Chains A and B, each alone.
Chain A
Amino acid sequence: MKAIEKQRIQQQFQEKMDYDELLNCMRCGFCLPSCPTYIESVQDERHSPRGRIALMKAVVDGEIEPDEEVKRSLDMCLGCRACEPVCPSGVQYGHLLEQARDIIYQNKTSSPSAKLMKHFFFHQLFPHQNRMINFTSLLGLYQRSGMQKVARKIGVMNLLPDSVRTMEKVLPNVPTKHEMKYRERHFQPKDAKKKRVAFFSGCLMDTMFLETNKSSIKLLQYAGCEIVIPDQQACCGALHGHGGEKEKAKEMAKRNIQAFEEENIDYIITNAGGCGAFLVDYDQLLKDDKEWAERAKMFASKIKDITSVLVELEFHRQPLSLDDEVITYQDSCHLRNGQKTFMEPRTLLSSIYGATYVEMKDASRCCGSAGIYNILESEMSMQILDYKMKQTVATKAKTVVTANPGCLLQMKSGIEKEGLSDQVRAVHIVDLLLEAYENIRY
């Protein structure tokens, strides 16, 4: 790293890092056993929350320079926040990580390829839903035209890293451009109206996973919700926030707050753990912005994961049924650690008649997906996934249930990697619930 960069980063660490929060870590180490990168790096403190906080503090204190290794330590973090619920001191690690990454990325020239990749994802693609639609439909074209088959046959894919190659195989069959572009935005409940909610459709969820979004709407209708989908909404900004692009994230947040505050609603429903946890934190993100702080608070207070609202509306008491099989659940880190939602999915899954719910060991440990981490830090990501697959296989489950698109793709990759695709499937929880609900009725 260049001297001038280091100097700039150091100075901004001193100006911007929350020093009280850094001091709040009393270094007891209770976080260590929950940190996937600490475990997978064979107990390397550089890859533990305690170690990373110590490094951040040392940069502020001027004890060490923010060199490549410090950056490496921060890059290696999945941001799964599994350290937060186990921290007796209540250190807000996720916020510290975001602050530090933001400072480093705003002041450091990263490697051209990483920079290109980030720029493409963070600035060119995710913020623009139209481009998402175009990009996804390109993928659809690739899948449907037979190009996919050809590409696989001639081995173009071999040029790509393992993780991307496996990912390419497991991407869902995407909807057509027309379907993505022209959709209804207002739905009535099937029976008596219990709540009026707005649906946060997300960028990836509303393109590549449009089917899952449709299932979500149906479930909400069955549960007694009137649903609106504000069309001015944008990507939640989580990828930007976690990837060191805080300003861009704030921009997305403001667009969303504006889009939703016009609606008179009880809740804002999300069905992607990663998005939900970031949305629920908008009040933190905009706390220093006078004009937006209050509005952000109001917005954040309405965020609810779909499983929470389903349990609240007693959807688990509805008749739900599947064939006789074992199902297991992989927590979305952000749903669990960010939104503190982990009982609700289990309540719903356990209530499905016919299926047997088996908890996998360390279900709360990250699957290694973590935004675009599995592309940027492919090796560590695969190591974490291997452990996850071992636990999955041990449950003998035929269906692995997830609650976030990243986790879903990652678990599908894991299944593919293990050569289990003819025996095990990974599904989003709403798709499985709809299947179980409709199973009874048809």
Chain B
Amino acid sequence: MLPDEFKTKLVHIVGAENVADSNASKLVYSFDATPQFQSTPDGVVSPRNTEEVASIVKLCNEYRIPIVPRGSGSNLSAGTTPTEGGIVLLFKHMNNILEVDQENLTVTTQPGVITQQLMEAVEEKGLFYPPDPSSMKISQIGGNINENSGGLRGLKYGVTRDYVMGLEVVLPNGDIIRTGGKLAKDVAGYDLTRLFVGSEGTLGIVTEATLKLLPMPEEKQTILALYEDLEAAARTVSQIISNRIIPATLEFLDQSTLQVVEDFSKIGLPTHVKAVLLIEQDGNKETVENDMKKIMDICRENDAVEVNSAKSVAEAEALRTARRAALSALARLKPTTILEDATVPRSNIAKMVAAINTIANKYELDICTFGHAGDGNLHPTCLTDVRNKEEIARVEHAFEEIFAVAVELGGTITGEHGVGAMKAPYLHWKLGEEGVSAMLNVKKAFDPNNIMNPGKVFAKSERKRVVVTR
């Protein structure tokens, strides 16, 4: 329940139509796309501009009420689940693209713009915004920045972080600051832009962003390589990279994933093989042709049973769309789908794939694996049933081992989804206690009252992570 006085003041800031605290509205914002996490907020508020955001933050700081900034709620680390109550802050009114600057190749946008709409708007002008999370049709750019989202083009083009040049942020004390900007070179002081990107809403609220754009690549080609052996596919990935070719996209799907994706997309994916690689290259025509020829040779040398080119732009797009649906499509098989985000240096991708299979067998679990093989970012996905307590316990152990192996192989606990509440208990595995402590000090400096998305990134204490939180 929101305190009466607080609610009155909130209504005064944004108007009654932008404050909701009925049971139904609280319930529908009690979750994001992360399985097993749900927690009801005390209210939902939709500010119309930066000043209103700042006033809300000041008010929350005064009353010590948690704020959870939330885009479309498509994230997979419980980063936007209001685990400690408080208010969920929506950006539905802050959804304008403010400027596409064709001289400096930047776009300046409000956080509530849907990622795909931003991409389409710049593409209309022959420009290119590369980060393309699988959720791009629904996710908002503010959410992408907060989670530092990756995507299918991450291998060659990097992640969201590599495109954020400047931000407007409301700090937990209500101050409005601007970081970075359109300058290609700017070394004045700490790089706060980078600090806020991927901070998962724990340090402040992004209210505007200036993003870097690239010229649209002239040509793009897509192939699908089929394998009878998982590790042969994984080997191909390392071989391509060690041959000094950086494809735009290099995606891996195992047989079970292929089968469910085909069941949904019906585009004629080869479901009879053990694994496929979806490979794309873009750039100027000559480079693309040369690279693709070499890539196809490498696939064949590494026991690909078949290598096919997409016959048309539509066919290539269908393949990418199907790949993006992989996670949700897997949900057809069992009631609960738990997806992980383990990442290793790409030279170790074959070892990681093999380890996942061994661990799945050991714990007698259905784990399908797909992911951005090219950047070492795998999504082992467990198909289970939350009602089966005994199996869920095995799932926890299995994922713990998967993370341990990933870190051992020089990897990390999350490649692109963020730590959120889901992986907070493991953060120290990757950072060490000192690393976590350094980050906590940054958090305390910005947010001494811990109102900004509390309970995320940092675990209160080490505990089993797959706990249903209500």
Count of chain A residues with Cβ under 8 Å from any Cβ of B?
33
**Are A89 and B73 in contact, CB atoms less than 8 angstroms apart?**
no
**A54→B26 CA distance, assembly (Å):** 11
**A432→B172 CA distance, assembly (Å):** 63
A11 interface contact, C-beta 8 A: no
Stretch at the interface among B29-37, B214-222, B275-283, B428-436: B29-37
Q: How far is the CB of A382 from chain B (nearest CB, A)?
A: 20
Q: How far is the CB of A409 from chain B (nearest CB, A)?
A: 32
**Are A63 and B27 in contact, CB atoms less than 8 angstroms apart?**
yes
Q: How far is the CB of A77 from chain B (nearest CB, A)?
A: 13
- Specify the main secondary structure of chain B where it touches its partner: loop
Choice from A28, A46, A58, A70 contacting B74 with Cβ under 8 Å: A28
Q: Write 5 A-B pairs (CB below 8 A) sorted by A numbering.
A: A28-B135, A45-B25, A45-B73, A64-B27, A89-B329
**Are B27 and A26 in contact, CB atoms less than 8 angstroms apart?**
no
Count of chain A to chain B residue pairs whose CB atoms are closer than 8 Å in the complex = 97
Which residues of B lie under 8 Å from residue A27 when comparing CB positions? Answer: 31-33, 35, 73
Also in contact, A32 and B28, with CB within 8 A (given A20-B335, A67-B23, A88-B331): no
The 8 closest A-B pairs by CB, nearest first: A88-B328, A89-B331, A45-B28, A51-B28, A69-B24, A88-B325, A88-B329, A26-B331
Which residues of A lie under 8 Å from residue B35 when comparing CB positions? Answer: 26-27
Tell me the chain B residues, 99-128 only, with Cβ under 8 Å from chain A.
114
**A181→B92 CA distance, assembly (Å):** 54
Which residues of B lie under 8 Å from residue A67 when comparing CB positions? Answer: 23-24
Interface, chain A (partner B; CB < 8 A): 20, 23-24, 26-30, 32-33, 42-46, 48, 50-51, 54-55, 58, 63-65, 67, 69-70, 72-73, 87-90
Contact mask for chain B residues 370-396; partner A; CB cutoff 8 A; 1 contact, 0 none? 000000000000000010000000000
Q: How far is the CB of A133 from chain B (nearest CB, A)?
A: 43
Which residues of B lie under 8 Å from residue A42 when comparing CB positions? Answer: 92-93
Choice from B22, B29, B138, B335 contacting A23 with Cβ under 8 Å: B335
B332 interface contact, C-beta 8 A: yes
**A69→B135 CA distance, assembly (Å):** 29
**Are A58 and B335 in contact, CB atoms less than 8 angstroms apart?**
no
Contact mask for chain B residues 50-94; partner A; CB cutoff 8 A; 1 contact, 0 none? 000000000000000000000011100000000000000010110
Q: How far is the CB of A28 from chain B (nearest CB, A)?
A: 4
B137 interface contact, C-beta 8 A: yes
Count of chain B residues with Cβ under 8 Å from any Cβ of A?
36
Which residues of A lie under 8 Å from residue B92 when comparing CB positions? Answer: 42-43
**Are B74 and A54 in contact, CB atoms less than 8 angstroms apart?**
no
Apart from the given pairs A33-B114, A90-B332, 17 other A-B contacts in the complex at a CB distance below 8 Å: A26-B33, A27-B31, A28-B74, A29-B72, A32-B72, A42-B93, A46-B28, A50-B28, A51-B28, A54-B27, A63-B27, A67-B23, A87-B328, A88-B325, A88-B326, A89-B329, A90-B329
**A44→B24 CA distance, assembly (Å):** 11
Closest to B264 in A: A88
Q: How far is the CB of B18 from chain A (nearest CB, A)?
A: 10
B337 interface contact, C-beta 8 A: yes
Contact mask for chain B residues 1-37; partner A; CB cutoff 8 A; 1 contact, 0 none? 0000000000000000000001111011111110100
**A32→B327 CA distance, assembly (Å):** 16
**A50→B114 CA distance, assembly (Å):** 18
Which residues of B lie under 8 Å from residue A33 when comparing CB positions? Answer: 114, 137-138
Closest to A58 in B: B27
**Are B332 and A30 in contact, CB atoms less than 8 angstroms apart?**
no
Also in contact, A29 and B331, with CB within 8 A (given A45-B28, A51-B28, A70-B24): no
Choice from B31, B72, B90, B264 contacting A90 with Cβ under 8 Å: B264
Closest to A65 in B: B23
Q: How far is the CB of B17 from chain A (nearest CB, A)?
A: 10
Which residues of A lie under 8 Å from residue B138 when comparing CB positions? Answer: 29-30, 32-33
Choice from B24, B73, B332, B336 contacting A29 with Cβ under 8 Å: B73
Which residues of B lie under 8 Å from residue A30 when comparing CB positions? Answer: 135, 137-138, 325, 328
**A51→B25 CA distance, assembly (Å):** 9
Which residues of B lie under 8 Å from residue A51 when comparing CB positions? Answer: 28
Q: How far is the CB of B260 from chain A (nearest CB, A)?
A: 8
Closest to B35 in A: A26
**Are B328 and A28 in contact, CB atoms less than 8 angstroms apart?**
yes
Q: How far is the CB of B174 from chain A (nearest CB, A)?
A: 26
**A63→B38 CA distance, assembly (Å):** 11
Which residues of A lie under 8 Å from residue B264 when comparing CB positions? Answer: 88, 90
**A48→B24 CA distance, assembly (Å):** 12
Closest to B26 in A: A64
**A67→B24 CA distance, assembly (Å):** 8
**A32→B137 CA distance, assembly (Å):** 9
**Are B328 and A46 in contact, CB atoms less than 8 angstroms apart?**
no
**A185→B25 CA distance, assembly (Å):** 53
**A58→B93 CA distance, assembly (Å):** 28
Also in contact, A55 and B325, with CB within 8 A (given A32-B138, A33-B138, A90-B264): no
Which residues of B lie under 8 Å from residue A44 when comparing CB positions? Answer: 25
Which residues of B lie under 8 Å from residue A43 when comparing CB positions? Answer: 72, 90, 92
